[in-house]
Amino acid sequence: MKELILEMEKYAKDHNVPIMQNEGIAFLMRFIKANNIKNILEIGSAIGYSAILMASSDVDVKVTTIERDENYYMECLKNVKKCDFDKKVSVVFQDALEVNLSDENKYDMIFIDAAKGQYIKFFEKFKYFLAPNGVIVTDNLKFHGYVGKSDEIESKNLRQLVKKIENYIEFLNNNQEFTTKIYDVGDGISISVRKNGNT
């Protein structure tokens, strides 16, 4: 397991795969254990790094993870097999915005880590699949330190992307349904809970 994790970290580095930072994933693993989270839905698997580590937080944690890129999907399946997590991690090959989940599936945690420009869409779509005291978690809210400084960015593409993350943060802060805390760990992680919940 340890070896596979190191192997995935190296693969990510060599192939420029944006996996979670050590500090961020360690934070999530502690959070999962401390809050007795069992069923997780992840949007954006890449090679399965965060899915496998989240699933390893505790014996009965299960992760369903969605990936639209075929190469990443194949790589993710391979890694899930390597650590014998076929029963703990299920990988769905589809665009998350097109996935039809059964209404009966409710998740204790929904982890959004896919296209940064679509975070509001993901949030609005998947909030219906949250268990009553569930949480929605998002990664990369600092976006390598650019967030909050979008006006200074010269590249138009990067500026627009960072602006979308800034909009998403505003969306979270003004949300009537959810209360959000943003943690300055890893690349910036938010945790949103329903206002009437008691988590």
For the sheet with 89-93, list strands across it. Answer: 89-93, 62-67, 39-43, 107-112, 130-139, 189-194, 178-183
Q: Does 69 bind ligand SAH (CB under 6 A)?
A: yes
Task: CB nearer to ligand SAH: give 108 or 113.
Answer: 113
Measured in whole angstroms, the distance separating CA 161 from the mean position of its chain's CA atoms is 17
Shortest-Cβ-distance residue relative to ligand SAH: 44
Residues 83-142 that bind Mg ion (CB under 5 A): 113, 139-140
DSSP annotation of 101: -
Task: CB nearer to Mg ion: give 97 or 133.
Answer: 97
- As a whole number of Å, the end-to-end CA separation of the chain is 31
Task: CB nearer to ligand SAH: give 29 or 194.
Answer: 29
Report in angstroms how near the CB of residue 86 gets to ligand SAH at its nearest: 18
Task: CB nearer to ligand SAH: give 69 or 182.
Answer: 69
Q: Residue 134 binds which one of Mg ion, ligand SAH, none, with CB within 5 to 8 A depending on kind?
A: none
Q: % helix / strand / coil in the chain, to the nearest 5?
A: 40, 20, 35
Element (H, E) at 54: helix 49-55
Strand partners, 40: 63, 109
Size of the site for Mg ion (CB under 5 A): 3
Measured in whole angstroms, the distance separating CA 65 from the mean position of its chain's CA atoms is 9
Report the residue from 4, 5, 74, 115 that binds ligand SAH according to the rule CB under 6 A.
115
Cα(163)–Cα(157) distance, integer angstroms: 10
Q: Residue 50 binds which one of ligand SAH, Mg ion, none, with CB within 5 to 8 A depending on kind?
A: ligand SAH
Report the residue from 27, 31, 72, 129 that binds ligand SAH according to the rule CB under 6 A.
72
Q: Does 107 bind ligand SAH (CB under 6 A)?
A: no
Q: Report DSSP letters for 115-150, one per residue.
A: -GGGHHHHHHHHGGGEEEEEEEEEE-SSTTTTTT-G
**Interaction site with Mg ion (CB under 5 A):** 113, 139-140
**Interaction site with ligand SAH (CB under 6 A):** 18-20, 44, 46, 49-50, 66-69, 72, 95-97, 113-115
